[in-house]
Amino acid sequence: MVDGLKTLIGRADAGTVVVPGHGGVLTRDDLKAQLDMCEAVKEMIAETFRQANDLEDLLATHPTRAYDARWGDPARFLAQAHAGAWGHVRELGGIF
């Protein structure tokens, strides 16, 4: 997701409007805000992995608290991000 957002931001300009498969249309600034959120959550997930904790422990830390008002209920996103992060565990560093 992070790589996809970086690609979209790199191809977008101030007048670009992105129409996602669900949800409202997004501007380049919206994509940047989503990227910022994803990168922050990625680090929180990595820290959870470093502590050998599971998804429930991650959810208990409320890692998206600062973003929930804008993005909504994070449970599904966090579950998918946590599961997907295992494919990038070496990139997250300090885990194995």
Write out pLDDT tens, residues 5-21. Answer: 999 999 999 999 999 99
Please check whether residue 10 lies inside any domain of the structure. Answer: no
Q: Which pLDDT score is estimated for 94?
A: 67
Please check whether residue 39 lies inside any domain of the structure. Answer: yes
State what percent of residues in the chain have pLDDT above 70.
96
Please check whether residue 22 lies inside any domain of the structure. Answer: no
In SS3 terms, 44-84 reads as HHHHHHHCCCCHHHHHHCCCCCCCHHHHCCCHHHHHHHHHH
Please check whether residue 4 lies inside any domain of the structure. Answer: no
Task: Return mean pLDDT, the chain.
Answer: 87
Q: Which pLDDT score is estimated for 45?
A: 82
| Residue numbers of the domain that contains 57 | 29-92
- Decide: helix, strand or coil at residue 27: strand
Please check whether residue 1 lies inside any domain of the structure. Answer: no
Please check whether residue 56 lies inside any domain of the structure. Answer: yes
Helical packing angle, 28-50 and 2-11, nearest 10°? 160
Please check whether residue 75 lies inside any domain of the structure. Answer: yes
Give the count of domains, the chain: 1
pLDDT in tens, 38-85: 998 888 888 887 786 788 888 888 888 988 998 899 999 889 988 888
Q: Which pLDDT score is estimated for 35?
A: 95
Task: Label residue 96 by pLDDT band (50, 70, 90).
Answer: low
pTM of the full structure: 0.70
Please check whether residue 11 lies inside any domain of the structure. Answer: no
Comparing 56 with 96, the larger pLDDT belongs to 56
